[in-house]
Structure 1
Amino acid sequence: MLDIASLVRVHVVLRVHADALIAAQNDMGVCDAIRQKALVGKPEAMSAPHLPKVAGIDPTVPVSTHTAGSLSEAPSATGAFIQDRLAGWVSDLTTLHELTERLAGTGTLDDALHELLDAGAALVGARRGLVVFEPSDRRGPVSTIGLGLAHAELGQIETVPRTATSYGRILEGLPDAEDALTTPDLPGDPGLDPRRREVAARLGYAASYAVPITAGATGRLGAAVWLYDEPAEPLERQRHLVGLYAGYAGEHLARLLELERARADVATITEELLPSRLPRIPGVQLAARHRRAARGGGDWYDALALPEGALGLAVGSVNGSGPGALAAMGRLRSGLRAYAVMEGEDPVAVLSDLELLLRLTEPARTATALFAYCEPAERKILLAGAGHAPPLVISDRRTEFVETSVSAPLGMLACWEAPSVQITPEPGETVLFYTDGLLRRTGDSTDRAFARLHSAAASVPKAMRHDAGAVADHVLHTVLPDGPDRSGSARDRNDGSEDVVVLAARFD
């Protein structure tokens, strides 16, 4: 009787160069196919029913059968077969590891869905496809992303009745669509919906393979479909690989979905805590710009009409980020509005009351604030700040920071000693208020950040200076040319927790 275990053990010991074979198999893997983005001509091999090597898989390797041959031939044939199988398994594991590492490096839903489509297409040997992200709890977000399909082509696919498509049956939770769905021959399928056959012929695909995207905590998240140019279907081994990959992708997408929804909730709360519109006061033009941090910072602004045609302007920043900072910001802004109505003509008194409020409600938190009492008819501004950056006056003749008195932030004052400062803007001048997030997001030192801001303000084109909104936009985009949501460089290290607020007041 043939002792297969002994023969295999002896064969593996003798094959001391097995690593070289495994390395050669890996060189033929799916990851190399993904890296080769350029396609030359029609990829017939990717659409053929019998595919070439994928992830080190050679479909032509014969299945082991019992043979009546001599025992002297058995060790070599059996050992070579097992060696090939081991090399294939190692290649599969390597491929999955590399693909999941690339997927784990994505930080947004769109990036993850694109990566899912690319990797899945290489795993099943397809050239085109689409993924429909539609969480089963109906809370959104919903999106459709294509691979090798233009926007108009995706629109044509969406004209097919939903239950007639493989991804539609998965998303609708039909009983026959709990697992992957294969349509190996669209033109030759007699039961195919006529509209689906028409769209497939128009777009030039003849087969499809769809898999559900699910996660344990959230359930069904969407479905991915890959399209073949010719009648075809993936091999059993390819199906297994893409199934494992889709399982990991579902869990990763569920985590990104949770983050996306949390950010949306923070954005909604932040916008609700800030003014929905700015007051219209004769003699002054107002514009505000707010750029929210990813985790939700505590920067805020306010503008309110006061008795006798006066105007109250305020900007401030609460240290920290997240829901706690947002709650503290809301309390401070509400308190400042009340104090401004009662004693707005005395900015020092307003900030003194705000200091007391912060000590009582947020004893472990600090904040900066600047309040300005404006009389537009006389172009007179009386302002006071608590640890806040000075405003900037912008005009054709000058660009300079207002010299304000030095004061510690709110929550750190033993007693209030800093007096208020009065300025009188000239007609056509714009006073720019901003939070320290604008300076910190530059990633520069304080001196360099102030110099960058001054240079940006001085470079406002003359044609824009009559519009407060245009001035604010120019300064913001010049100081932060790539926008406040940049990531990946040293100068953007604070983007995750730093809001940016710019409030511009142009006097006639």
Structure 2
Amino acid sequence: MNAPHPPKVAGIDPTVPTPAHTVAPTPPAPDAAHAPDTALPVPSTPTPTGPGPGMLLQDRLAGWVSDLTTLHELTERLSATNALEPALQELLRAGSALVGARRGLVALEPGDGLGPRTTAGLGLGRADLGHLETVPRDALPHGTLLDAAGRGTGTHDGIAHPDLFAEDGLDPRHREVAARLGYAASYALPLSTRSAGHLGAAVWLYDEPAEPDERRRHLAGLYVRHASEHLARLLEVERTRARMATITEELLPSRLPRVAGVQLAARHRTSPRGGGDWYDALPLPDAALGLSVGSVTGSGPSAVAAMGRLRASLRAYAVMEGEDPVAVLSDLELLLRLTEPARSATALFAYCEPALRRVTLAGAGHSPPLLIGERRTEFAETSVSAPLGMLACWEAPSVEVQAEAGDTVLLYTDGLLHRTGDPMDRAFARLHAAAASIPRALRHDPEAVTDHVLRTVLPDGRDTADSPEDVVLLAARFD
């Protein structure tokens, strides 16, 4: 007879009881009606008074299998997370089930000092975390682990406080905060790996005096060890994304120029992989203004570097011959074909004369700009042209747009359309509808115009969600 499996821990039943032993059944007595008369009486078999060695081993194996199944399920759920915040929340939930606590927090403080530093709570609001921060760091169990790691004396063992209010020498502020938040015991574990070193610490809080038994501590230790490795990988990804975003932002204008007769605003959303979209606004001779947006193919560091080179080259060509946008893009196409023959790019350059409210532009495989006025919302009529680097010799005519006082010319990259997930015709219709729905009270402010278009075309936070596409909007409103 098989021993019953103990209940699992993974959110189903936080209790991990020791499996009950089974008792061997008594063999049935032979049927007296069918026994021969001359048969000798069968001696009765004594009923065992306790489990045999085989049953004990079977129960122990069943417990091990249950523990392994639980750890497998929990680590699978953790491995499915691909960002720090959900990974920290999953760590807290799984640890809470394993140690039998209801609340907890994790403090991420990488020992190399490169960040990011953050704190996440389970069952604790912002105000609760704020109260805990008022307790001296060395008086908190996870604070002790963090300080020990900072001094290079970190430990892999947990720190248990089974009854905080019964401890002598408990910090008065800690006693006050514990009473306010309603916890009476805690169990803390460090987060560290051999390769990445110290990452932080996690602590779980009990409502009543309690502490995890040896079995729970062992399971929690194994899980936290795996979680630390996963967090170390996510930290490296997060840092790489932050570096890529920083490099991209540094290659783009730190601020937009002030030019009489026109107001400018820009919005840029970088993809986590590091895309190659750019925008630029450059004062030119004769009180003119050059505007450009574009995108290079590919992603990652090489695409970002190519974007920086193209944008810098375009600025030089704009200063020399900006009044002829076709010539500017022709020079840029020649440079791209000679220096990076395996790469292509889309681009749009506009030569603006604010005093005349006149815009002369040329595009290379780029989406047409949108003209937003008091009585009209329409796409500028630009000729269909190939991206730069796609043909042996790029050619396209320029287009002249005459704006009125109060009109806004909106330039954008294809990432704005691609992030909608719609076919291109529907994406263009969505963009047009978003521009047409701008309230009149906001149309005088290009910052408000770009924000409205971005939120309307990409609702529900899709403008900031992870995506392989960059998003660029550049708005110029004529006085």
TM-score of the pair, normalised by structure 2: 0.90
Q: CA deviation at 1:432?
A: 0.9
Q: Does structure 2 conserve the Cα–Cα contact (< 8 Å) formed by 1:291 and 1:484?
A: no
Separation of aligned partners in 1, 2:103 and 2:21:
28
- The Cα shift of 1:156 comes to 2.2
Give yes or no for the alignment of 1:501 onto 2:472: yes
Q: CA deviation at 1:440?
A: 1.2
CA–CA separation in structure 1 for the residues paired with 2:285 and 2:464: 42
* 1:100 and 2:75 correspond: yes
1:460 pairs, out of 431, 438, 444, with 438
Counterpart position of 1:30: 9
1:78 deviation in Å? 3.4
> For residues 362-417 of structure 1, what are the alpha-carbon distances to aligned partners after superposition, in whole Å with 9 as ceiling and x for unaligned?
11100000001110100111111111111111112211111112211111132233
- Give a deviation string over 1:140-172, Cα, whole Å, max 9, x none: 111111222222222222222222222112112
In the alignment, residue 475 of structure 2 is paired with which amino acid?
A
Equivalent pairs, count: 454
Alignment of 1:84-233 (within 5 A): 84-173=59-148, 175=153, 177-233=155-211
Aligned counterparts, 1:357-372, within 5 A = 357-372=335-350
Alpha carbons of 1:59 and 1:207: their partners in 2 closer, same or farther (altered >3 Å)?
farther
Q: Please tell me the residue identity of whatever aligns with 1:152.
A: A
Query: In the alignment, is the contact (CA less than 8 A) between 1:320 and 1:497 conserved in 2?
Result: no
Question: 1:58 corresponds to which residue?
Answer: 18
Distance of 1:176 and 1:99 partners within structure 2: 26
Displacement, 1:59? 7.4
The alpha carbon displacement at 1:485 in A equals 5.1
Alpha-carbon distance in structure 2 between the residues aligned to 1:274 and 1:443: 26
After TM superposition, the structure 1 stretch with the greater mean CA deviation from structure 2, 150-159 or 437-446, is 150-159
CA gap of 1:32–1:116, structure 2 versus 1, over 3 A, is closer
Cα 1:407–1:176 change in 2 (3 A) is: closer
Q: Quick one: structure 1 residues 211 and 485, their matched pair in 2 at CA, closer, same or farther if it must change by over 3 Å?
A: farther
Contact 1:169 1:177 in 2 (8 A): no
In terms of mean alpha carbon deviation, does 436-445 or 72-81 score higher?
Answer: 72-81
Change (3 A) 1:485 1:438: closer
CA deviation after TM superposition for structure 1 residue 441, in Å: 1.2
**Structure 1, residues 431-462: CA drift from partner, whole Å, max 9, x if none?**
11111111111112221111111121111122
Partner of 1:475: 453
Contact 2:98 2:219 survives alignment (8 Å):
yes
SS in structure 2 of the partner of residue 378 of structure 1: coil
Cα distance between partner residues in 2 of 1:150 and 1:439: 38
**Hey, what's the Cα distance between the residues in 2 that align with 1:305 and 1:176?**
57
Match of 1:42 in 2: none
Larger Rg: 2
The answer to which structure has the higher helix fraction is 1
Shift of 1:178: 4.1
Return the offset for 1:316.
0.4
| 8 Å Cα contact 2:19/2:63 also seen in 1 | no
Instruction: State the secondary structure of the residue aligned to 1:279.
Output: coil
* Deviation of 1:177 (Å): 4.4
Distance 1:165 1:330 in 2: 48
Task: Report the equivalent of 1:308.
Answer: 286
